[in-house]
Amino acid sequence: MSGADETLAQASAVSMAAAIADGRTTSIALTEAALARLKPVHEACNAVITFEEEEALQAAAQADAAVQANAKLGPLHGVPLAHKDMFDRAGRIASWGANIRRAEPAADDAAVLARLKAAGAHQIAALHMTEFAFGPTGHNYIFGHARNPYNRELITGGSSSGSAIAVATGAVPVALGSDTAGSLRLPAAACGVKSLKPTWSRVSLAGAMPLSGNHDCVGPIARHAEDLALILSLIAGHDPKDGRTAHLPMQDYQAALEADPGALTIGIDEALIGQASDDVQRRLEGARAVFADAGCAFKPVSFRDWGELDRLAQLLQMPEVASAHGAYLRNRADAYGPQVRARVEVGHFISGADHQTALRARGMMLRDVLETTFGACDAILLPVFPDAVPTIEELDLSDKPELLPALARVLLYTRAINYLALPALTLPYARGGGEMPNGFQFVGRPFREDQLMTLAATYERAVSPEIAKI
């Protein structure tokens, strides 16, 4: 592989597609580089569930032939990607990170994968995830725990653990994941990359593993803001196969990368941020300075009762998970890992009336947050993890009673956002000497991912994307 190809292999998906289209490299070269990179990454970090080398190289050869034939090329033409192993793919059975899975191969590709394929991308591997995407740490008692590429003793965050590893190490520029309580944000933060949890109902869930339908969101993890914008522009929008997807117009996410951040006002809830460790607060202050320098305005805001929002999120999520897993848990309990089994049980002890209360209250609670907390703000700045990224060992709690409070601390700043259905952009803190990755989030208004893209691009002009050395 040439030096130019090496450089491109660590570029954005947008740059890769452009280089393939204008003949500076080939899809085969980039796909071989991605596979060569991902193999040692997997050995070090347990990032992959299935390598798909043969199919990927076939797809790359077809992509190169299309270039030679001057065919019409999509915006991801020939770009090798890899995704969390939770999406249907025609003729395959996704692992869902679990021992229990569908009995029959899927008939069709999940909607999001079909859209990426139509744009020209192909998949080189199915990536590690927390069992059933039901855990925020990257622990998996079936496939083994994921390990952080910056320090193998640390968690990767979950549940989109493999997606964050593959992107952080430069194996692929983008990987899809999902977020039901923080599963795009926590791995992106722990591994030092970016992610976008879209507004709930913005992206189709057709063919994605269900966990909690009122909270589930599919979105990208990437190193570059322009890739978040491109991927969202491809996967967002109404899908007749998913009746929940919104019919509302999409914003121009890519144009938003060039928009003026000085037009944006950011809310700061000092009391809520004050629940984070001193070190996290210090790093968040450093991130805030980047946006102040870029001209953003800041306003103090206050969530009326953050804890109540988090409890409503649990009242909605836990019974939905329990219901989805009802037959599995009764009939195949031994096939679960202990942590997920213990958490799936919880929803059975929540009454149907309380679940309905949480569901019916969602509009009222969101209206209150938009009117009272956001006010005129465009986004609210919060940490992702409340503390330094924990070690695998300290959260290796199996099904012990300490599990629920420990995970509640990890989810402090993320789970309530799913209840509110709001979009959230995760960005990594700048790292001083020896500092481990961690990250913060901007919570946006409904369907205003364009404003989050402006913030992502603004930050990237000051803090360059990193690649973890393996």
Positions that interact with other proteins (CB under 8 A):
199, 201, 214, 246, 248, 307-308, 311-312, 314-315, 322-323, 326, 329-331, 333, 342, 345-346, 348-351, 353-354, 356-367, 370, 376, 399, 401, 403-404, 421, 445-448
Identify the residue whose tokens are 């997807």: 245
Q: What is the dihedral of CA 328, 200, 318, 400, to 10 degrees?
A: 90
Beta carbon of residue 248, minimum distance to other proteins (angstroms, whole number) = 6
- The minimum distance between CB 440 and other proteins, in angstroms, equals 23
Which of residues 2 and 356 has its CB atom nearest to other proteins in the complex?
Answer: 356
Q: What is the smallest separation between the CB atom of 183 and other proteins, expressed in angstroms?
A: 20
* Residue 84 among the catalytic residues: yes
183 is catalytic: yes
- DSSP H stretches of helix in 109-224: 111-118, 161-168, 185-191
Bridge partner list, 267: 299, 380
**Phi, psi values for residue 148, rounded to 5°:** -70, 130
Task: Work out how close the CB of 244 gets to other proteins at its nearest, in angstroms, rounded to a whole number.
Answer: 9
Q: Determine the Cα–Cα distance for residues 228 and 426; give it in Å rounded to an integer.
A: 11
Q: Which is nearer to other proteins, 449 or 460 (CB)?
A: 449
Radius of gyration of the chain (CA): 21
Strands 424-428 and 439-444: antiparallel
Nearer to other proteins, 192 or 444 (CB): 444
Write out the H or E segment, with its range, that includes residue 424.
strand 424-428
159 catalytic? Reply is yes
Tokens of 166: 């593959």
Which CB atom, from 161 or from 245, has the smaller least distance to other proteins?
245
Residues 169 and 37: beta-carbon distance below 8 Å: yes
Count CB-CB contacts under 10 A for residue 93.
Answer: 14
Say which of 12, 27, 95, 159 is annotated catalytic. Answer: 159
- Closest approach of other proteins to the CB of residue 18, in Å: 32
Residue placing its CB nearer to other proteins in the complex, 129 or 452: 452
- Amino acid at residue number 47: A
Out of 183, 195, 212, 233, which one is annotated catalytic?
A: 183
As to burial, measured by CB atoms within 10 angstroms (0-12 exposed, 13-18 middle, 19+ buried), residue 97 is: buried
**What is d(CA 317, CA 164) in angstroms, rounded to the nearest whole number?**
24
**Toward other proteins, which CB reaches closer, 21 or 361?**
361
From the candidates 12, 15, 84, 194, which is the catalytic residue? 84
Q: Minimum Å distance from CB 415 to other proteins?
A: 12
Active site residues: 84, 159, 183
